[in-house]
């Protein structure tokens, strides 16, 4: 099934990994069509059983340079346009966060402003050694992105990035535990794809519940979050995949998951 658009390409492999490639030339600047098409692709993937993990990457040197500033500087907005733009951007990022299946971001080159928000909306991050993540809004008369930045970095680093436009390298992201790996550019996609493929090899029922749980308990207290996880574990235990996983473990064989 081809769900690609003119700005966002998507290909689902035999290993159940959907490779989503941003292709808005030249730097994946985020416009209204970009946001609309990202939402369309990710919402569709949530309904496709043949997709069990997503690899999010760029067709170009840079991951995403952020909002389309040139168009914004020239445009004259009417009543309600600001609210519509803000809502569209929020929902674009949340379509990634709320996608039924986990998303692995392969970050090469610059991921700035709204590009950082795309990275922070993914579940797992792999950086190339030329990656650069930052919030340049302070330098272009804008604000925003700090809350997404807080999902990646600590208190002091987030505020320094917000107040100065400081960029963080892929190597530093790995040192800080923000990224799972920092690899040479030619190893970026293979490394990220290997992680996505490993996720896709697990029970899709278990992975979906795990992602739903992680998204939910992130904003909860320890007690409430663990209680929620316990409820989800009970729900998972009723599935065929759960029974197959336990039986395969006891029989010392590889499980065969059916997604039920």
Condensed to tens digits (0 to 9), the pLDDT of residues 228-242 reads 999 988 888 888 888
Q: Pick the residue with more confidence: 116 or 142?
A: 116
What is the predicted pLDDT for the residue at 73?
56
Residue 35 in this model has a pLDDT that exceeds 70: yes
In 3-state terms, what secondary structure has residue 141?
coil
Distances (CA, A) of 14 to 67, 70, 121: 34, 40, 25
Residue 158 in this model has a pLDDT that exceeds 80: yes
Residue 140 in this model has a pLDDT that exceeds 90: no
The owner of tokens 């986990």 is 102
What is the predicted pLDDT for the residue at 105?
98
What is the predicted pLDDT for the residue at 106?
98
What is the predicted pLDDT for the residue at 191?
98
**In sequence order, what are the beta bridge partners of 8?**
22
The mean pLDDT value for 80-100 works out to 90
- For residue range 170-207, what is the model confidence (pLDDT) as tens digits? 999 999 999 999 999 999 999 999 999 999 999 999 99
The mean pLDDT value for 45-54 works out to 97
pLDDT band at 26 (very low <50, low <70, confident <90, very high): very high
- Alpha carbons 122 and 148: distance in angstroms, whole number: 11
What is the predicted pLDDT for the residue at 180?
98
Q: Mean pLDDT for the chain?
A: 93
Distances (CA, A) of 214 to 5, 100, 178, 239, 244: 30, 12, 16, 19, 23
The mean pLDDT value for 90-103 works out to 96
What is the predicted pLDDT for the residue at 47?
96
What is the predicted pLDDT for the residue at 71?
62
Q: Are strands 167-169 and 132-134 parallel, antiparallel or unpaired?
A: antiparallel
Phi–psi pair at 196, nearest 5 degrees: -60, -40
């Amino acid at each position: 099934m081809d769900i690609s658009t003119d700005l966002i390409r998507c290909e689902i492999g035999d290993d159940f990994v959907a490779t989503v490639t941003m292709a808005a030339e030249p730097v994946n600047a985020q416009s209204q069509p970009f946001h609309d098409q990202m939402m369309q692709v990710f919402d569709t993937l949530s309904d496709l059983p043949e997709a069990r993990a997503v690899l999010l990457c760029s067709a170009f040197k840079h991951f995403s340079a952020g909002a389309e500033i040139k168009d914004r500087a020239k445009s004259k907005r009417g009543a309600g346009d600001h609210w519509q733009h803000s809502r569209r951007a929020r929902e674009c990022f949340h379509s990634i966060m709320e996608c039924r299946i986990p998303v692995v971001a392969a970050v090469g080159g610059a991921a700035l402003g709204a590009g950082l928000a795309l990275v922070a909306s993914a579940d797992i991050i792999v950086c190339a050694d030329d990656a650069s993540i930052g919030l340049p809004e302070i330098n272009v008369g804008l604000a925003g992105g700090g809350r997404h930045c807080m999902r990646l970095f600590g208190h002091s680093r987030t505020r320094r990035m917000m107040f100065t436009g400081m960029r963080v390298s892929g190597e530093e992201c790995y040192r800080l535990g923000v990224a799972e790996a920092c690899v040479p550019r030619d190893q970026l996609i293979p490394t990220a794809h290997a992680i996505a493929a490993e996720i896709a090899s697990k029970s899709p029922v278990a992975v979906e519940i795990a992602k739903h749980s992680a998204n939910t308990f992130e904003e909860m207290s320890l007690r409430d979050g663990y209680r929620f996880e316990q409820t989800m574990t009970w729900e998972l235990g009723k599935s065929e995949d759960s029974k197959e996983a336990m039986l395969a473990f006891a029989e010392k064989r590889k499980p065969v998951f059916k997604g039920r």
